[in-house]
Amino acid sequence: MRILAAAAIVVALAVTPAGAAKEAALPGAAPFPAALAKRLRDAVAARGRDYEPRTRHRNPDGSPKWVNRLILEPSPYLLQHAHNPVNWYPWGDEAFEKARAEKKPILLSVGYSTCHWCHVMERESFEDEEIAEFLNRHYVAVKVDREHRPDVDAIYMAAVQSLTGGGGWPMTVWLTPDRRPFFGGTYFPPRDGDRGARVGFLTLLRRLNDAYHSNPGDVARSAAAITEHLERALVPEPATIPDEDLKDALRRAFDHAAATFDEQYGGFGPAPKFPRPAMLEFLLRYHRRTGEPRALEMVVRTLDAMARGGIRDHLGGGFHRYSTDAKWLVPHFEKMLYDNAELAIVYLEAFQASGEATFADVAREILGYVEREMTSPEGAFWSAGDAESEGGEGRYFLWTAAEIDDALGQRASLFRALYGVTPDGNIEGRNVLHLAATAEAVAAGAGISPERFREEIAAARADLRGVRRKREPPLVDRKILVSWNGLMISAFARAAHVLGEKGYAERGARAASFLVDRVYDGKRLRRSWFDGRAAGTGYLDDYAFLARGLLDLFEATYDAKWLGRALALHEVIENRFRDPDGGGYFRAPDDGERILARDKPAYDGSEPSGNSVAVSNLVRLAELTDDDRHRARADAALRGLGSVLQRVPEAVPSLLAAVEFRMGRPRQIVLVRPRGGASAEPMLARLREVFLPSRVLVVGTDGELPPVEVRALLEQRTALRGALTAYVCEGRRCDLPTTDPEVFARQIRAAAAPPD
């Protein structure tokens, strides 16, 4: 995790026995101006009597000893640091102007609210009064929530990666007052020798402050060199790629996946292991394109291993962030909305591609977890669940054998055999639940029928969920991020189609309605919603991910308003984010804050890049609307990312999935219902049986004026003989229309066959 620091002036509140508040300066800092001090007091008071400050520094009455500017911010992560003795500033001109006026360096600290090592560094360093005093005297300290400011995070993460060869959060970067980095890293232990480190954070602060003042020329040259590197690295070179080279990029990405595949445990590369759903989605499409069995095998083995491993929450549903070992056994226990959205989608797609029913069950569990634990009262989705509770990482999710025995009684032996529970445990004497054997084997060993075994295990899981609910739960980050909500809306909408359950589409539509009504003014998106207010600038991923969710909702509900809003979002992308010279789209809008460089995101990491999703949306929009402008925009964006596709296609699997759609002879599937509200289900049931990612779906009603967005696909197409009729088209050529679901099924299977 990463940390940004900038020197800031913070006031502490102390409460006298009589209850009157008095102001005291933070260690090493001057008191706040009176007007700001009042705002801080009012902000603390507005939290109410039940407010629990996140700090060990308390007054005798339990009130926080310190408060700083972060108490005013609409970010759960920044609010976690609002009572540190550090004089934190949020990112903004005030901090940098202060650093310039006082000739001080800036410490930038970047993290997020459910980041375990961010919490560790907070407790060890930012709650330490000696470290805080030195920071406050010699630096301007700036704290950034990477989820609110992905532009800041991306730029300084690239700097840290260039300096150290790696990155992560907390991210800690030393800057000049003109925002240029001259040193950086991730987590630093507080003092020399702590956690085996030769040099601790306090020593680094002292040495780099000395260097800043004693060797300003060296610092300036280092900062200039790093900045020059960032300006080149953050914007890929454009390149036009012929179709044959694009096909070669698909093959090379597959070859890289095959070469790095873990034959024993699934997944790619050594521990720590991340799920990488974007790569799995690409491999499913490569299998469909080429018929290569190895591509499907890698996906199935990986998803099966993850579903059996401890990375999956076998009681509550959903997946943890990543596995610390190669076996998918011991996770890093935080749960992120974006991971679970993308994993739900890839499990649904793998269910279609492989026919493995367990994958559909896993997707249902993920969505059930999100509905139950991550959905706001308004219907939108919260961001993340923390790894920590009860003073330790993962405590909420871990079990001793004795706890299992006490909770389950006679059922305990069955449960322990299935989920690998032992007296010694697999992490510090406790057990991460994982499927250690098959249900069939455990049932046979116990001499009971499979049906009875399923009943016993279902009852045991329900009992343990009840026990777990009595524990202190991990913190939930209740901010609503537009981009991550877009991903989860896609997951619910696609589940509605693949599983044939309309309720999922209704839940996705409820979230979409909230976003459209509360964080979109018809012209611009905001980044987030928290504590009753929208905040921040919308970035490329906010527009692109939400547009994808709306396109999926349109295909799940047939309601053209979602398509219309997706088109409107893409017009903003075209007008505010497009690179008119190089092609592709910048992360920040044209009127956004200029930092060091205006980066153009290309690489697909834990989330797909905004450019990958934008291209995917455009090729779908071209097929839905029969408007060649969208194809031209997609091709221009591909040119803007051409050098990346040429050099490292394996780094952009989501973009390759869009390329596969574009090159895969996409089908337009049009279902026309007769008047009177007849269901399209007979045809939809056949469609969901086949994995056909290169297609769009439109459902209309005979005799009704088609929505303008899809008029090209619906006009002059009728319900033959008053019956539900299917049209399967490629470009402007269509198969014979049919009212027979079996004929339609044959047409779809033919469309899904490898085209090459």
Residue pLDDT, tens place only, 605-653: 999 999 999 999 999 999 999 999 999 999 999 999 999 999 999 999 9
- Cα 110 to the chain's mean position, in Å? 17
CB-CB contact of 359 with 347 (8 Å): yes
Residue 83: count of CB within 10 angstroms of its CB? 26
Average pLDDT over residues 721-748: 95
What's the pLDDT tens digit per position in 469-512? 999 999 999 999 999 999 999 999 999 999 999 999 999 999 99
**CA 75, CA 528: separation in Å to the nearest integer?**
9
Query: How much is the pLDDT for 594?
Result: 85
Burial profile 370-394: b = 16 or more Cβ within 10 angstroms, e = fewer: beeebbeeebbbbbbbbbbbeeebb
Mean per-residue pLDDT of the chain? 93
Average pLDDT over residues 356-381: 98
> On the CB side of 475, how many CA atoms lie within 13 Å of its CA?
20
Q: Which CA distances in Å does 478 have to 70, 420, 504, 591, 733?
A: 17, 33, 21, 28, 49
CB-CB contact of 382 with 337 (8 Å): yes
Residue 39: count of CB within 10 angstroms of its CB? 15
Domains of the chain (ranges; CATH) run 11-233 (3.40.30.10), 276-297+306-469 (no CATH), 480-663 (1.50.10.20), 667-752 (3.40.30)
**CA 280, CA 257: separation in Å to the nearest integer?**
9
Lowest average pLDDT, out of 23-32, 302-311, 380-389, goes to 23-32
CB-CB contact of 477 with 467 (8 Å): no
Three-state DSSP class for residue 465: helix
Binned at pLDDT 50, 70 and 90, residue 756 comes out as low
Q: Which CA distances in Å does 20 have to 15, 60, 64, 71, 623?
A: 6, 13, 14, 20, 67
Query: How much is the pLDDT for 647?
Result: 95
What's the pLDDT tens digit per position in 679-691? 999 999 999 999 9
Query: How much is the pLDDT for 19?
Result: 33
Determine which helix (DSSP H) or strand (DSSP E) holds 450, and give its type and residue range: helix 450-469
Give the pTM.
0.94
What's the pLDDT tens digit per position in 439-463? 999 999 999 999 999 999 999 999 9
For residues 483, 485, 487, 489, the Cα torsion angle rounded to the nearest 10 degrees is -140
Question: Is the pLDDT assigned to residue 15 strictly greater than 60?
Answer: no
Binned at pLDDT 50, 70 and 90, residue 578 comes out as very high
Query: How much is the pLDDT for 676?
Result: 83
Question: Is the pLDDT assigned to residue 3 strictly greater than 60?
Answer: no
Residues forming a β-bridge with 107: 174
What's the pLDDT tens digit per position in 259-286? 999 999 999 999 999 999 999 999 999 9
Residue type, 394: G
Q: Which two tokens stand for residue 391?
A: 């003073």
Three-state DSSP class for residue 115: coil
**CA 86, CA 84: separation in Å to the nearest integer?**
5
Query: How much is the pLDDT for 755?
Result: 66
**CA 539, CA 577: separation in Å to the nearest integer?**
9
What's the pLDDT tens digit per position in 188-223? 999 999 999 999 999 999 999 999 999 999 999 999
Q: Which CA distances in Å does 201 have to 82, 90, 228, 732?
A: 20, 21, 27, 64
What does DSSP assign to residue 69? G
The DSSP result for 200-229, as a single string, is -HHHHHHHHHHHHHH-HHHHHHHHHHHHHH
The closest alpha carbon to 22, from 8, 9, 7, 40, belongs to 40
CB-CB contact of 95 with 105 (8 Å): no
Strand order from edge to edge, sheet including 733-734: 695-701, 667-673, 725-730, 733-734
> On the CB side of 398, how many CA atoms lie within 13 Å of its CA?
23
Three-state DSSP class for residue 602: coil
Average pLDDT over residues 51-70: 93
pLDDT > 70: percent of the chain: 97
Top-ranked range on mean pLDDT: pick from 49-53, 341-345, 711-715: 341-345
**CA 655, CA 610: separation in Å to the nearest integer?**
10
State yes or no: cis peptide before 90, omega within 30 of 0.
Answer: no
Lowest average pLDDT, out of 1-15, 51-65, 234-248, goes to 1-15
The closest alpha carbon to 64, from 112, 32, 123, 24, belongs to 24
226 CB contacts (<8 Å, ≥6 apart)? 159, 162, 163, 180, 181, 182
For 535-598, what is the HEC assignment? EEECCHHHHHHHHHHHHHHHHHHCCHHHHHHHHHHHHHHHHHCECCCCCCECCCCCCCCCCCCC
Strand order from edge to edge, sheet including 335-336: 335-336, 384-385, 476-477
Average pLDDT over residues 372-401: 94
pLDDT > 90: percent of the chain: 89
